[in-house]
Amino acid sequence: MEELQNWLEDLLNLQETDSRLDRMKTLVADAPKQKKDAQDNLDAQQAAALAAKEEVRKVELEIKGFAAVIDSIDKRRLKLLEQSSSVKDNSTYRALLHEADSLQEQISDKETEELEVMEILDAKKAEFLGCKGKLEEAIGRVEQMMTDLDVRVKNCQAQMSTLEEKRSKEASLIDDEILSRYERIRVKKSTAIVELNEDKCGNCHLKLTTQEVKLAKNRVAHTSCGNCGVLIYR
């Protein structure tokens, strides 16, 4: 009986070590992709911040354009007023004043338009600041994440060599036939041996036959679930 118990304990120890190794291998293997995803996300945020900055620049240029147009209209208006002061003829004088007034109206219209664009500028600036804030936060977060990930990968790699040694020792204790069966199952499933839950398989959760449950209870090596094929015990 003791011998029967040993195969089980040894196999469970091996499976525990293999599971830990699997988790570490996954972490190490996934690290480059995790880093790439984080970098891609950062690049996208950087591009968004640059695009928002460009939007601000465009609106600022538009406002400069307004200022130049208003300035040139005003120069024309002042020139008319200057001309009007030296005109003797009344109707010419009134015509010049009328033209100057209409230029003043044009200036007012342009100023109204300019105010509207200034409001747009405020909104664009707020948008840019939002993007910039998010980007700065993300840069800090990603840097920390990369550092943490590097440390975790290093720790895992160090632990993995210790675990590999532990695994060889544990595997050497197990009967060749059971070991090769265990390894064949583990290629397809992360769990090769499970405890029964009442009369159900702990892996596929389906009900087992009375015979299977009896063998599992007696801890007979090689007893497996007729549904999913994993080794079972109880």
- Pick the binder of Zn ion from 215, 225, 231, 234 (CB under 5 A): 225
Between CA 199 and CA 206, with CA 201 as vertex, the angle to 5 degrees is 85
Residue reference for tokens 């109880």: 234
Q: For Zn ion, which is the closer residue by CB, 92 or 197?
A: 197
- C-alpha dihedral sign at 172, 178, 184, 187: negative
Q: Which of 63, 186, 56 is nearest to 115 (CA)?
A: 63
Footprint on residues 3-22 left by Zn ion (CB under 5 A): none
Residue 227 binds to Zn ion (criterion: CB under 5 A): yes
| 223 binds Zn ion per the rule CB under 5 A | no
C-beta of 178: minimal distance to Zn ion in Å? 18
228 binds Zn ion (CB under 5 A): yes
Separation CA 120–CA 33 (nearest Å): 40
Residues paired with 233 in a beta bridge: 195
Distance CA 78, CA 68 (A): 15
Residue range at the interface with Zn ion (CB under 5 A); choices 27-35, 67-75, 176-184, 220-228: 220-228
Site string for Zn ion, 166-205 (x = CB under 5 A): -----------------------------------x-xx-
Q: Which residues bind Zn ion (CB under 5 A)?
A: 201, 203-204, 225, 227-228
